[in-house]
Chains A and B, each alone.
Chain A
Amino acid sequence: MPISFGKNSIVLEGECTVEEALPLLEHLQSHPKSKVCMKGCVLAHSAVLQVLIAARPVYSSLPEEEFMRRWLVPALKGAQ
């Protein structure tokens, strides 16, 4: 499972597929204060990203993968 849920944290790692979107959303719904760690995430499906963009959680770390860092982080942070 590329996503692991802790008490107050959600860790996304490796490649997050479309199946991960629903558990992620459910966890964010039940634990809205969770901090999201995306350090190890190299690929996230659009559906996963969509959940994150809509939820605007607090990020404890941002993805380091080149494409995500460059182009997706602004959307994740809701900077626009």
Chain B
Amino acid sequence: MKQLNKTNLGWLIFILVAFLATQLLVSFGIIDAFYEITLMTILINIILAVGLNLIIGFSGQFSLGHAGFMAIGAYCTAIMTIKTPTLVGLFAGILLGALIAGVVALLVGIPTLRLKGDYLAIATLGVAEIIRIAILNMGSLTNGAAGLSDIPYLTTWQLAFIFVMITLIIVVNYIKSSAGRATIAIREDEIAAESMGINTTKYKTIAFVIGAATAAVAGGLHASYFSVIRPADFTFMKSIDILIIVVFGGLGSVTGSVIAAIVLGIINVFLQPFGQLRMILYSLALIAIMIFKPSGLFGTKEFMISTVMKKQKTKTPTKKEETK
């Protein structure tokens, strides 16, 4: 069983420790009902940021349409759970949302991913707006500008945690496969990638579709946890919020996206008492980090269990020598 190698086992332990640590914080009331909102926001933002990082940081395609795909997932889950307010309804809603978002991304991606840089950004921005306007005009199904309220509260942070892990596993496994390397090659040099026999449109589209599907999952969790969604929640500004997390963490670093989502979530909590000044301080913090660390917190570096284990191995013999 190659799947159960040391590295994967290391990760499994790491994930369990992270889960138990969070569980303890919640059990002891350090994360109370109020902070649980922050915890949920962080978990949802991790999914959004990792998905967007796959599109922008790894395939190198500048997309500003993430909020649109999130909206698809949110509305799908909301409509589904209002009709069947059970966990089955929730899972069906999230899955359907991810599927629809994936199909939309596929249909949109094939023509638009031929565009480059700014042009692609504008095109994806347009797609997100089209999705939002469509939702706004779907009559009783989406309830227009007022949005949907009284969405059954079915999500717990534990469930969100599991979805975060699923997203991370899918994205990281993709990046660290042959197809993932082909995708990163496109970011590095599209012409060279093409002359290496890589179908660039295909891999750009795959990254775009995976990213869109994960955004829909995050949207579903958002709808189910916050119980109220409006089209105004999924504007251009939402896409920018996610983009900030990605850039802050480092384009091309999954670890960076995760840490950035956590750090920015915590910064937001500490800035609560400042009221109106909050957004200014938040922006100043971002500007400071961009000046001192323009490639983001992590650049393209990743935290890897395998390197940690290697370091441990090299450390142990020196300890033995000391005891001698």
A complexed with B: no
Q: Which residues of B contact A (CB under 8 A)?
A: none
Q: Which residues of A contact B (CB under 8 A)?
A: none
